[in-house]
Amino acid sequence: MAISSSNSNGGAPSLEVAIVGGGIIGVMMALGLHRRGIKAVIYERAPSWHEVSAGFAFTGAGRECMQRLHPGILEVLSRISQKTDASTSNSYWDAYHPRTRQDAEDESKALFRTPNNRLDFWGCVRSQLLLGMAALLPDGAVRFGKQLVSYDDDDESSKVILHFEDGSTAEAHALLGCDGIHSTTRKVLLGADHPASRPGYTHIAAYRTMIPIDVGIAALGQKVAKSGCMHCGPNACLMSYPVMNGTLLNVAVFAHDPSEFPDPDKMTAPAERGEIERLFRGWGPQLADIAKIYPENLVKWGIFDMDQNPPPTYARGRACIVGDAAHASTPFLGVGACTGVEDALVLCTVLESVQQQTPNGDTVDGSLRQALQAYSRARLERGRWVHHSSRQVGQMYQWRYGPTGRDTERIKRKLERDSHTIVNYDVLAPLLSDRSEVDHLMM
């Protein structure tokens, strides 16, 4: 199966790109490329659009990248998100020591607050965003039921050949692996025996749920209604924030788990409400009773990331890895998806340069390889910082991070430093500093 199309500047064939993975970042990537006249086809292993109905959020800086990728992405997010503003703040609470609900809900006893005018999160439900963006794709932009098993990037061939589990093949000038934390693209790119071919367990398990906002207020107090809250304590924490225009509360309990996760490939395991009850026994009354909002039988998620063995590169030849495939992180910094959006913008920028340099879609081989290496160099440091800092923040919320311990001021200062690094970052600046590659691509 070959990809073929005409670009937006005339009748000449377009640069052809195969995107492996039809998740949030894969679809954003496709939309950004199509907007630039580059033909992109998504190869998704599921039989239809599929995304877990969990909440996540995007910073103001992340939304600026969305706008530059494709304005329609931001329009979709705006319709479905719960928006914070300068009048709101994320709050951090000691959930272990209060002995009464009154103390636990006393606004004056919050550990500290961080103004939302820094990160300016918009929270939404993953599945709603995916479906909204998918509706913007042109006809023929996705092939379902396509599980990648390998690819060939032969120097003598003008295109990369993708091989799928059903025996079919496809070809394209470049392969972008947006296939998540268990990326097949990454395993082929690095080699199956490479330490970075598999993610590592962070020894944190998550119990997630989404509840009506009034149920959340009854359980955790009025403080959860408008913005994010983090309830901290020894070896566990609870994160909550409103989604779906404030009608639902996304809740996640995170527990330190010294053992190995039972199914590292699936990353989920059956669980019972009693696990949460035992986890918060002896805590303040809000979290001691929080298990009641969960069903008797549930699923727990193993939290994996790439911090233990980060990839040495995000690109080799005419293939690269994007988003979680490159730098999967824990959710504690809150910018894993935003980092994938940054990847997509950088990739769209370098691939558009290749498209403009070779408008007839041929003799692109050398330019593509250099463009993908420029992408990798531009993103490696940022990706590694995100998953490393996010792991530290998760330990900090569970009072297990040595440099901060339980010291409120130290915790606050680290969060402020990290927020500054998240917000005050020029996504395209690393490309501009790599002048030799940029100059070549622009020739």
Residues labelled as active-site residues: 208
Question: Which one, of 19, 372, 376, 375, lies nearest residue 183 by Cα?
Answer: 19
Q: 101, exposed or middle or buried, with CB in 10 Å at 0-12, 13-18, 19+? A: middle
- Token pair 């955790």: residue: 220
- For the chain, what is the HEC assignment? CECCCECCCCCCECCEEEEECCCHHHHHHHHHHHHCCCEEEEEECCCCCCCCCCEEEECHHHHHHHHHHCHHHHHHHHHHCEECCCCCEEEEEECCCCCCHHHHHCHHHCCEEEEHHHHCCEEEEHHHHHHHHHCCCCCCCEEECCCEEEEECCCCCCCEEEEECCCCEEEECEEEECCCCCCHHHHHHHCCCCHHHCCEEEEEEEEEEEEEHHHHHHHHCHHHCCCCEEEEECCEEEEEEEECCCCEEEEEEEEECCCCCCCCCCCEEEEEHHHHHHHCCCCCHHHHCHHHHCCCEEEEEEEEECCCCCCCCCEECCEEECCHHHHCCCCCCCCHHHHHHHHHHHHHHHHHHHHHHCCCCCCCHHHHHHHHHHHHHHHHHHHHHHHHHHHHHHHHHCCCCCCCCCCHHHHHHHHHHHHHHHHCCCCCHHHHHCHHHHHHHHC
Please tell me the distance from the alpha carbon of residue 149 to that of residue 151, in angstroms, as a whole number.
7
Contact 304, 267 (CB under 8 A): yes
Encoded amino acid at 329, one letter: S
Inter-axis angle of helices 336-357 and 24-35, nearest 10: 30
Instruction: State how far the Cα of 396 lies from the Cα of 180, in Å rounded to an integer.
Output: 26
Unique residue bearing structure tokens 């359980």: 219
Distances in Å between the Cα of 346 and the Cα atoms of 29, 176, 181, 375 are: 10, 13, 20, 6
